[in-house]
Structure 1
């Protein structure tokens, strides 16, 4: 996957804070508050399957290119969960992108602040937006995302962090995304603003193993930038295995929708940790979702799909691309 080196923003990117860990992470979990619900929901357009672009393909990198050994990866049905990044691609049609941007703009008034990962965001957006909920559970959309990632996907059963809208404005205190790796394994970020709308806001990542990130300097060529500036640009990231951040937005406005997916066939290998989730949403809000995620199942593909209110996506569906 061709990427541009983040030479112009490398120093500012490495100067970004890192997500708290250890005792600091527990401290955030104690202080965090459950995301608030919107009382007066704005009117929304209707989601349509035709909003998904056809034959979506894009440049791809494997986890092997990030230093992971094949035996460290998840295996199932004769396949390997080896995709690290895909994109940027245009996963929505221009009309679909306009409707999604319209919905996210209307929801901005409900965004809250956080010091854990992203500065200003709306969590569980699919629980307050019928449009986003239906988009994420649309079979055409899920098939497209699954084929890009190379594994069958459904919306993540952890409902609070499944869909997050990030809002960044270049005024006052800079709004950023700290250096972090996700609890989620399969993450798609849809850019709802074009690079002409803002300054800064560069998606930066470390092309190496997560255990090699500590001590990285600005001279390290593995600090790179994904060219996601075009409006509608969508990037898939194996979030739990890649350190990434977003540099400060210094002018204008940048809005993104981050959607987290789940592979039922790798349910036992899910990378989420309790304290990572609680650090963002608080302990009381995390406990019910955590128990629901870890509850024993007989048929993971069917059981988790029902929990997520999603169609079942199979390996045969993915391989039928």
Structure 2
């Protein structure tokens, strides 16, 4: 079963469940279909050595269906009910909702669905689990207040794996297209350093057939954005995060960016649990695999590596507020 850290049994202070919600029913609300195309990290220009340390060699899929018509309708209604909780993410996203899975049981059960998790495992080709930080489950982006602004600027994600799902009908949205860069995040950083963004000829805008369709994304490695709207309209997307269950892989997170963005009532506890889960896995591997040796420095290095995620989390928590990174409009 794909579980890293179980979803909390109690709600954080300041959160309450929506009333009069339908019960999530995977048999009725999911309509899982396979993507027809998978793009690999190597196709974007990443080298073998860098790919080897990451969660999966998969970069991005073509759009595929997740929700049935009934599920898509409930998803839209749920998003509209959560819209009053929207806030910004620094200068990157003007209107977003995080922590929705602490407010909507239907959204929570969708985002931690094991049927959906298994479907994503088949796409990524690895064992995964819903992200151990529930703030990364059911993240929603809403239309900005001004049409000239991108809904979300060029960036790579603060988490390793996710899917991006259309909540509103793309056919009814004027602009606001999701697009990704056919290149590496290192190339995007180089472009940004000279005031440039990914050129149009090196971007892909997937065609989403309707609401309830998604792409699977190696979010920490694929540079992407949601472009500006051309006219005022409702445009909503939902992002659900995942992690590789293999804790020997890189963490691929920038949780420090979320200080000042996410609710501190929730963030630090979730962050500590994720770091503890990864450290537990890496320490277990150390116990199983560390051989006898007189090389004390080598043993110290192994132990430091095993606790690196917890150490880094402590240092980042103490360092204070970060800022969501991006590569420009």
The TM-score bracket by the shorter chain reads 0.7 to 0.9
Separation in 2 of the partners of 1:119 and 1:267? 35
Q: Are 2:101 and 1:118 aligned?
A: no
Alignment partner, residue 82 of structure 1: 57
Contact 1:165-1:257 at 8 Å conserved across structures: yes
Q: Secondary structure at the match of 1:119?
A: strand
Alignment partner, residue 12 of structure 1: none
CA radius of gyration, larger in: 2
RMSD over equivalenced CA pairs, Å = 2.8
Alignment partner, residue 27 of structure 1: none
Alignment partner, residue 244 of structure 1: 224
Q: Are 2:155 and 1:176 aligned?
A: no
Q: Secondary structure at the match of 1:143?
A: helix
Q: Are 2:130 and 1:149 aligned?
A: no
Q: Residues 226-245 of structure 1: matches in 2 within 5 Å?
A: 226-228=206-208, 230-245=210-225
How many corresponding residue pairs? 264
> Which structure's relative contact order is higher, taking Cα pairs within 8 Å and 6+ residues apart?
1
Alignment CA distance shift 1:300-1:248 (3 Å): farther
Displacement after TM superposition at 1:38 (Å): 4.6
Alignment partner, residue 293 of structure 1: 274
Q: Residues 1-321 of structure 1: matches in 2 within 5 Å?
A: 37-39=14-16, 41-50=18-27, 51-74=29-52, 81-168=56-143, 174=149, 176-213=151-188, 214-215=190-191, 216=196, 219=199, 221-228=201-208, 230-249=210-229, 250-266=231-247, 268-278=249-259, 280-281=261-262, 286-295=267-276, 296-298=279-281
Alignment partner, residue 309 of structure 1: none
Contact 2:177-2:205 at 8 Å conserved across structures: yes
Displacement after TM superposition at 1:273 (Å): 2.4
Alignment partner, residue 290 of structure 2: none
Displacement after TM superposition at 1:43 (Å): 2.0
Alignment CA distance shift 1:66-1:253 (3 Å): same
Separation in 2 of the partners of 1:290 and 1:252? 35
Query: Alpha-carbon deviations, 1:280-320, whole Å to 9, x = none?
Result: 3276754333222222214899xxxxxxxxxxxxxxxxxxx
Alignment gaps of 5+ in structure 2 = 1-11, 285-329
Kindly report structure 1 stretches of 4+ aligned residues shifted beyond 3 Å.
Answer: 35-40, 169-175, 216-220, 282-287, 298-301
Larger strand proportion of the pair: 1
Separation in 2 of the partners of 1:143 and 1:164? 20
Alignment CA distance shift 1:279-1:68 (3 Å): farther
Separation in 1 of the partners of 2:111 and 2:242? 9
Alignment CA distance shift 1:233-1:40 (3 Å): closer
Alignment partner, residue 299 of structure 2: none
